[in-house]
Amino acid sequence: MQRSTEHDHPADAHDHPAAPVVDEVSEFEVLEIAVRELAIEKGLFTADDHRKFAEWGEQIGPTGGARLVAKAWTDPAFKARAIADGVAACREIGIDWGEPTGWGTPSDYMELQVLEDTPALHHVIVCTLCSCYPRPLLGHSPYWYRSPNYRRRIVRWPRQVLAEFGLILPPEVEIRVEDSNQKGRFMVLPVRPAGTEGWTEAQLAEIVTRDCMIGVALPRPGTTADETPVAKARHPVPEVHH
């Protein structure tokens, strides 16, 4: 698996107008439609099979991942198991990566790495080649995650891109970008926010949004939904040179 960290880049070299992270149709989405229609034509699966799988992904959403994070926050032993073997930890909360749909459709990948954030380290995930994503835990990926804009830029200018999502991290926090591939998946285990002492797992799970587990947002009491970025940050954050 590929790993990248922040790259040195002069702040004024990225002052040109940036295309929105969203409102962009990926060439991979066009390719997916063509491959899907060809697979149906060749009898590899039916249109109904695809519909059922898509509906399953939309129905589950990120709730499984939110439950995993909430349990890890409240159970140190479970957190250790999740970091050591993410797929096994998922079975403890009722998610089987071998047959996640419940009707015999296997996952196309069987490795999950849970990335633990700390006050000094922040993770963000991407698939630079296409759209690899932990669907059994998070459902379908958001369209901005699949966009070439996000895939190209997050590995080069992570602080600026995170600022476009409204996430401005202190300069002393290291940002580590993890690149998914066809054999494995990542999810972020964010730092538990202050002000949640004594909360139940169910209460904690409500503030763990999809974007928190991708790494483009932080969980906050009172925030239970993602905010979609629409443009370049007004106050871009300069890169930190190491």
Catalytic positions:
127, 130-132
Cα-atom radius of gyration of the chain, to the nearest Å?
A: 18
Q: What gap in Å lies between CA 95 and CA 229, rounded to an integer?
A: 30
3-state class of 19 per DSSP?
Answer: coil
Kind plus residue range of the DSSP H or E element containing 4 = strand 2-5
Q: What gap in Å lies between CA 30 and CA 133, rounded to an integer?
A: 18
User: Does residue 132 contact residue 180 with C-beta atoms inside 8 Å?
Assistant: yes
Instruction: Please state, in angstroms and as integers, the Cα–Cα distance from residue 199 to each residue in 76, 212, 221, following that order.
Output: 15, 18, 11
Q: What gap in Å lies between CA 9 and CA 3, rounded to an integer?
A: 18
User: Does residue 174 contact residue 122 with C-beta atoms inside 8 Å?
Assistant: yes
Sorted by sequence, the CB contacts under 8 Å of residue 133 that are 6+ apart come out as 127, 140, 141, 145, 180, 185
Residue with the two structure tokens 């996952």: 107
